[in-house]
Amino acid sequence: MKKTTLLKQLLEDPKLLVAPGAYDVLSAKIIENSGFKAVYMTGYGTSASVLGQPDVGLLTMSEMVERARNLAEAVSVPVLADGDTGYGNPLNVIRTVREYERAGVSAIQLEDQAFPKRCGHMLGRRVIPKDEMVQKIKAAVDTRRDDDFVIIARTDARTNHGIEEALERGKAYEEAGADLLFIESPENVEEMKLINKTFPNTPTLANMLEGGRTPIPTINELEAMGFGIAIYCTGPLYAAAKAVRDYMNHLMKTGTTSDYYKELLTFSEFNAFIGLDQYNALSKKYAD
C-alpha cells in the first residue's frame, strides 16, 4: 500500500493518529521504532537542527525538501511535512507541492501566515487575506499527482483575530479542498471541542506543544473530542536538547562520563538501532 493511501486510512479511522515531531532523521527513526504510525516533520525543529535558529521563516523551500526527502527515505511510516507558507504565492505553492510530493512525504502542511512566518505559538504572527489562502489551497489540490497526497490547511488567525475568524477560515479552506484542517493554538478545551463540532466531516489536527498556548489533554480525551490526529511537534526536540545539555553539564562538572553510562544507549545498542547489522550483512553478501 502507498504511504499516502495508508495515511488517508489512518485519518479516516475514529482512533486518534499520534504523530510525534521529528527534527532530524534520527528522531524520525526513534519515533517509528517506538511504535508510532506516522511522523510529523516539524519546521520549528528543522530550523533549530539545521540552522540553530528560531522558527522565524529563515529556512528555504529547498532546505525543507531535502530534510523531508531524507525523513521519508529513512522510515516506513507516512511523513507529514511542514510546508510553511508554501514559500510565496499560488505559483510558488505549485512548485512546493511538486517538490514535496517527489520527496516521498505523504502530506504537506500549508499555513495562512504572512511572510516572514513564525512558530504557531509565538506572538506577532500575521495572516494573509482569507481569499489569498483559498487560492493557495486550490493550487495545492490541483497540483498533486496522487489523489491520496494529503493537503493540510492551517490557519493562525486565532491568536490575533479570535476563534470565530479562525473557524470561518477553516470552512473556506475545507471548501477549497483541504483534506485535513489545522486550527492553530486554540486557548482552552471549549475551543478545541468547538473546532470538531464545526468540522464533523473533515479530520482535524491538534497541536500539542508543551508550554504553548493550547491545553494538552490526554490522547483518549483528544480522541473523544473528535480530533483525527495529534502532533507533538516540539517535545522530542526539547527532550533531546535537555538530555545533551545534562550530559555536557555533567562532563563539565565532574570531568568524566564513566559514571553516566546508565543515562546513555550503549555503543552496541546504538549501532544495532541505526542498522549496522543490516549493512554488515549486505557487505558479506556482496563481498568479492
Q: Specify the pLDDT at position 57.
A: 85
Three cell numbers at 1? 500500500
Q: What is the pLDDT of residue 56?
A: 86
Per-residue pLDDT of the chain (288 residues; tens, 9 = 90+): 899 999 999 999 999 999 999 999 999 999 999 999 999 999 999 999 999 998 888 999 999 999 999 999 999 999 999 999 999 999 999 999 999 999 999 999 999 998 877 665 666 678 999 999 999 999 999 999 999 999 999 999 999 899 999 999 999 999 999 999 999 999 999 999 999 999 999 999 999 999 989 999 999 999 999 999 999 999 999 999 999 999 999 999 999 999 999 999 999 999 999 999 999 999 999 986
Spatial separation of the C-alpha atoms in residues 146 and 173, rounded to whole Å: 19
Which residues lie closer than 8 Å to 3 by C-beta, 6 or more apart? 72, 77, 78, 79, 104, 106
Q: The C-alpha cell of 22 is what?
A: 521529528
Residue recorded with cell 535537555: 242
Give the tens place of pLDDT for each residue, 80-105.
999 999 999 999 999 999 999 999 99
pLDDT tens string 124-142: 678 999 999 999 999 999 9
Residue type at 126 in one-letter notation: R
Q: From start to end of 71-202, where are the E strands? A: 79-82, 107-111, 150-155, 180-183
Is this prediction's pTM over 0.85?
yes
Domains and CATH numbers, the chain: 3-234 (3.20.20.60), 241-285 (no CATH)
How far is C-alpha 265 from the geometric centre of its chain's CA atoms?
A: 26
User: What is the spatial distance between Cα 250 and Cα 77, in angstroms, rounded to a whole number?
Assistant: 36
Measure the CA–CA gap between 138 and 151, rounded to whole angstroms. 10
Nearest to 224 by CA among 16, 56, 52, 5: 16
- Judge if the upstream peptide bond of residue 236 is cis by omega within 30 degrees of 0: no
What pLDDT, on the 0 to 100 scale, is given for residue 273? 94
